[in-house]
Chain A
Amino acid sequence: MPIDINWQLLMPELVIASTLLLVLVFDMVDALSKTVLGWLTLVGTGIALWVSVAMRLDNTYGTTFGGMFAVDGFSLFFNIIFLVSTMLVSLISINYLRGNSAERGRERRQGPYYLLILLATLGMMLMAAGNELIVVFLGLELMSLSLYVLAGYFREHSVSSEAGMKYLLLGAFASAFFLYGIALLYGGTGTTSLPEIAAAVASGSSSPLLLAGMFLLIVGFGFKVAIVPFHQWAPDVYDGAPTTVAAFISAGPKAAGFAAFLRIFTETFQNLQPEWSGVVILLAMLTMTGGNILAIAQTNIKRMLAYSSIAHAGYVLIGVAAANQEGVSSAMLYLLVYCIMNIGAFTAVILARTSTGERLALSAYAGLGFRKPLLALFLTVMLLSLAGFPPTAGFVGKFYVFKSAVQAGHFWLVAIGAVNTAISAFYYLRVVVTMYMREPAGEVDVAPYPRTLLVGLVLAAIGVLLIGILPSLVLNSAQNSAL
């Protein structure tokens, strides 16, 4: 059977694929400074972003590969989230990799790093556009395998290797759950195509196999996006992985997991909503509360951000639980905002490094507010946004998610979410307290700012404030892109 392929719909993915081939080729030219690979990645993702935005504006939608690959407003909006995250991460990586290699007097291989970042991005884009469980699974594996390697990228550091190994083992478990779920769904409906499964569900089929498959998918996704109680890997991986990689893992892949989650659950399993919404509501409550309470106990800022990112997955789940159009678009907006502010926060952590290494202990941030006022100010903006204070993007995101859930009648879920916001303010503000209000134990040890990192942080801060004050810029897009 000849399959006609609509190449036009694949443009963003093709741009990323060509970029990664170019990175591969350039990496082999020994005469070339390897910094160029970072810029190449940046430009490549930039072009892909531009293409995605153009396609989104022209409504270049459709399906290809015999309906296995769906390009619609939804997938293009997620492309924008992934590509913005990848751009920010590659921007901050340029100085980060160089800085680290200089410390050890040994050149770190940059080629594989950017290659893996691009491969993971490609995987995410496949997940968002996959209209077929097998394609979603391929995207998921492409993304996850790249991330396992990235997490262990500093292989001479035992913590980094440990992070990679832990991530691999637990991730493989999750993949197995996911695959088992697909198998059961296939058993229940005889197909892996999402529209056909939806048709089977609509026709009243609710065999136990179908339900069991659906819940296994929740478990699989739960691992990937770090939902309580499937979250145990996240803090160790974030803590051990190189900080840029931690920023990357916390942003794009989480959005990708939710992209597939949203498409499968709010579209394909729409008619089964009574069956799954209770579970999702319960998971949302557990995730928010668990993430926030555990974050309070942390003394290491990377681990704190890890638990905070778990809590944020809980807020996104509120939008999923609402399961209406507003809910989907609010979850999408939240993910966009979350990616920007979380990468910004990790960037600030890298920038706060001392002359000997990273500043990880929370207590080491004492006095930074007056010693490094600019950095402290931007980190404060990021933390206030994560805590959901107006006039930052975090507030708009949370507000929109809560609004959609109230519309769906989930008052108690929103009340718990709102109380969680207050809980989370405690540990975010604690960092601010330490920076501005605690006396440092001795002289504050600071390192000069690497330029691209600073640019990355400033861009993230501008994004957070712009979306916070004039949310209309992205709200329209999110609302029109919902499924």
Chain B
Amino acid sequence: MLLSTVIFLPLLGVVAIALLRGMGASAIKGIAMGVAVLTFLISLGLYTGFDATTTEMQFAESRAWIPQLGTRYDIGIDGISLWLVLLTTFLTPVCILAAWNSVEKGLSGFMMSLLALETGMLGVFCAMDLFLFFVFWESMLIPMYFLIGIWGGERRVYATIKFVLYTMAGSALMLVGILALYFQNGDNGFALLPLYERVGGFTHANLLFMAFFIAFAIKVPLFPFHTWLPDAHVEAPTVGSVILAGVLLKMGTYGIVRFCLPLFPEAAATYTPLIVTLAVVGIIYGALVAMVQPDLKKLVAYSSVSHLGFVVLGLFTQHHAGIQGGVLQMINHGLSTGALFLLVGMIYERRHSRMIVDFGGVAKSMPIFATVFMITTLSSIGLPGLNGFVGEFMILLGSFHSGAFSKVYVVLAATGVILAAVYMLWMFQRVMFGTPDKTNAALPDLNARELAVLLPVMLFIVWIGVYPKPFLNRMEKSVGVVVTKVRQEAAPAMGHTDFLDNLDDIERPTATDVQHQKEAERK
């Protein structure tokens, strides 16, 4: 029941707000915040009760739902979804607090959309039934559509329709894939776990893989499916951008780990060269485009394309450290990019501009803001000691050890780290340093509410950077399952030509090795 409570508590908040919408703004905000915080506190029970030694789905619930269609209400989490669930329950109250004073019209609708979105996202990460997954996946679109479309910027209508249509086009294909899997699942209906245990693969595995992968690639978004992202990010309200970057994009990468890799390992191996190429192109292209953006929000949006390219690269390494790094990087990106959008939103509220040329010398007028911005920027670049480094390092390590693709890709991907430093630090320099003009000199620094929004995020950014063990520990086993699947079944397609492969069999770096390596490096 714990998991169901976490998923549906926000929906209860939606109902409460709908019934009490006449009660005034502070009551609505209070209910929304209360529900979101309560959901987060309850979800901590998932963390404490999580058993890191098993590969089973935990907190699983299974109930009859629509027996005629062969679908059940099956939910559960493993070490991968645990973190995404916690990220979602963590970011939602942060977002509500961040939006405290910035919603002018339709406050109750805004909060209802946000909470409904939370239920949708949590459902996606917990569903263990393909039909249920699809229901959450699609229904989550509606609140996001309203969030961008009603509370967004000037071109919000264009952006929101583009976002919905891109996602729907992808999910249309996925629906066919889900149905095709259903008819290969015997009497198990839409249940996911029996599909995992199936031996011998599926007929039309390559087509099915692509049906799922394109849907997820649009969501990630992988180059060249990324064009909806800058529009959606720029037009979305601050909170919309945070949720979009923090959680929604992760639904794509989560889908890859949950469905594409373990269900169709051979097809994944077949398409790995193509996908990795796209990922590397995305890393470099996103970074280069981010470099020339005059608009802060667009810059962060394109940096997402680049960072998510890293995640996809890690997931397709067929290597433990790489996949684990990819999963960890999902969380990291959610935290650091989420924080960046929050910061951009805060300065936009003061200055009513996001253009980099309008700024300069902000560090003088807003020292606290500048400090937090610096930490976030460094985390996004991947400075050792902050979260981004751990993820990116593990991904690159995994890619080097991986026999799945040539090392040229890894070298190219690594340039993305350098490019990230270029565009982020250059942006930081232009915004923060120099002498402030009159308007910039008068900007007030962060207030207590804004600090309360940012500090929890900063805490996790440092925590994961310094001591990622609790995070890696809990995902270790679940990632192991995926790795075993991918390696065993993909082995023939890989070809053992690379000596590093054999080396790797003897000495596979685990999370703790990475830990040591990292600590040694710091000394």
Asked whether, in the complex, the Cβ of B157 is within 8 Å of the Cβ of A438, the reply is yes
Given A411-B176, A436-B149, the answer on whether A422 and B183 have CB atoms closer than 8 Å is: no
Chain A residues, Cβ within 8 Å of B157: 433, 437-438
A269 within 8 A of B: no
Contact B156–A391 (Cβ < 8 Å): no
* Contact across chains for B150 and A421 when beta carbons are under 8 A apart: no
Please tell me the number of chain B residues within 8 Å of chain A, measured between CB atoms: 36
CB-based contact B179/A472 at 8 Å: no
- With contacts A389-B142, A403-B179, A418-B175 taken as known, whether A437 is within 8 angstroms of B150 at the C-beta atoms is yes
- Whether A429 sits at the interface, judged by CB under 8 Å, is yes
List residues of chain B with CB within 8 A of the CB of A400.
69
Given contacts A384-B142, A415-B173, A419-B172, contact A425 B183 (CB under 8 A): no
Q: How far is the CA of A479 from the CA of B68 in the complex (A)?
A: 8
* Complex contact B179–A414 (CB within 8 A): yes
Q: Decide if A425 touches B138 in the complex (CB within 8 Å).
A: no
List residues of chain A with CB within 8 A of the CB of B176: 402, 406, 411, 414-415, 418
Once the chains bind, are B175 and A425 in contact (CB under 8 Å)? Answer: no
Across-interface contacts of B169 in A (CB, < 8 A)? 419, 422
Assess whether B180 is interfacial by the CB under 8 Å rule: yes
A415, B142: Cα distance in complex, Å? 22
Cross-chain contact of A429 among B138, B161, B183 (Cβ < 8 A): B161
Q: Which B residues are CB-close (under 8 A) to A418?
A: 172-173, 175-176
Q: Which residues of A contact B138 (CB under 8 A)?
A: 389-390, 395
Are B69 and A406 neighbours in the complex by a CB distance under 8 Å? no
Cα of A436 to Cα of B183 in the assembled complex, Å: 41
The answer on a CB contact under 8 Å between B135 and A391 is yes
Closest chain A residue, CB of each to CB of B106: A370
Q: A405's closest neighbor in chain B, by CB?
A: B179
* Residues of B contacting A154 in the complex (Cβ-Cβ under 8 angstroms): none
Q: Within 8 Å of chain B (Cβ to Cβ): is A444?
A: no
Report the Cα distance A411→B69, complex, angstroms: 18
Partner of A472, one of B67, B134, B136: B67
Counting chain A residues whose Cβ lies within 8 A of the other chain, the interface size class is 20 to 34
Q: How far is the CB of B281 from chain A (nearest CB, A)?
A: 26
Contacts of B145 in A (CB 8 A): 429
B515 to chain A, nearest CB (A): 43
In the bound complex, CA of A350 to CA of B139 (Å): 28
1/0 contact string of B146-171 vs chain A (CB within 8 Å):
10011000001100110011001101
Chain A, 406-420, CB within 8 A of any chain B CB:
406-407, 411, 414-415, 418-419
B448 interface residue (CB < 8 Å to A): no
User: By DSSP majority rule, is chain A's interface helix, strand, loop, or mixed?
Assistant: helix
Across-interface contacts of A399 in B (CB, < 8 A):
69, 131, 175
Which of A396, A406, A470: most chain B CB closer than 10 A?
A406
The answer to whether A390 and B134 touch across the interface, beta carbons within 8 angstroms, is yes
Q: Are B165 and A475 in contact (CB under 8 A)?
A: no
Q: Chain A 424-439, CB within 8 Å of chain B: the 1/0 string? A: 0110011001001110
| Interface residue? A471 (CB, 8 A) | yes
Contact B68 A425 (CB under 8 A): no
B187 to chain A, nearest CB (A): 14
A174 to B100, alpha carbons, bound, how many Å? 62
- Nearest chain B CB to A114's CB is how many angstroms away? 37
| Residue contact B161 to A475, C-beta cutoff 8 Å | no
Taking CB atoms, residues of chain B closer than 8 Å to A206 are none
| Complex CA distance for A381 and B31, rounded to whole angstroms | 25
What chain A residues lie within 8 Å of B139 (beta carbons)?
389-391
Q: Among A403, A419, A425, A437, which residue has its beta carbon within 8 angstroms of that of B156?
A: A437
**B223 interface residue (CB < 8 Å to A):** no
0/1 interface trace, chain B 115-148, chain A, CB 8 Å (1 if under): 0000000000000000100111011011001100
Known: A390-B134, A433-B157. A471 touches B179 (CB 8 A): no
Q: Pick from B131, B141, B150, B161: contact of A436, CB below 8 A.
A: B150
Min C-beta distance of B157 to chain A, whole Å: 5
What's the nearest-Cβ distance from chain B to residue A243, in Å? 27
Within 8 Å CB of A471, what residues of B? 66, 68-69
Residues of A near B164 (CB, < 8 A) are 425, 429
Say whether B105 contacts A370, CB under 8 Å: yes
Q: A207: CB under 8 A from chain B?
A: no
With beta carbons under 8 angstroms apart, the residue of A396, A402, A437 that contacts B175 is A402
**Contact pick for B69, options A390, A426, A430, A475, CB 8 Å:** A475
A390, A391, A415, A422: the one within 8 Å of B165 (CB): A422
- Closest partner residue, chain A, to B211 (CB atom): A415
Taking CB atoms, residues of chain A closer than 8 Å to B149 are 433, 436-437
> B302 within 8 Å of A by Cβ?
no
Cα separation A120 to B156 with both chains bound (whole Å): 46
* Complex CA distance for A396 and B69, rounded to whole angstroms: 10
- Which A residues are CB-close (under 8 A) to B65? 472
Sample 18 A-B pairs with CB under 8 A, ordered by A number: A370-B106, A389-B138, A390-B139, A395-B135, A396-B69, A399-B69, A403-B182, A406-B182, A414-B175, A418-B175, A419-B169, A421-B168, A426-B165, A429-B145, A433-B149, A436-B146, A437-B149, A471-B68
B: residues with CB less than 8 A from A are: 65-69, 105-106, 131, 134-136, 138-139, 141-142, 145-146, 149-150, 156-157, 160-161, 164-165, 168-169, 171-173, 175-176, 179-180, 182-183
Q: A390-B134, A429-B161 are in contact. List 7 more A-B contacts (CB 8 A).
A: A389-B138, A390-B135, A399-B175, A402-B175, A418-B175, A475-B66, A476-B68
- In order of increasing CB-CB distance, the 4 nearest A-B pairs are A418-B172, A422-B168, A475-B68, A406-B179
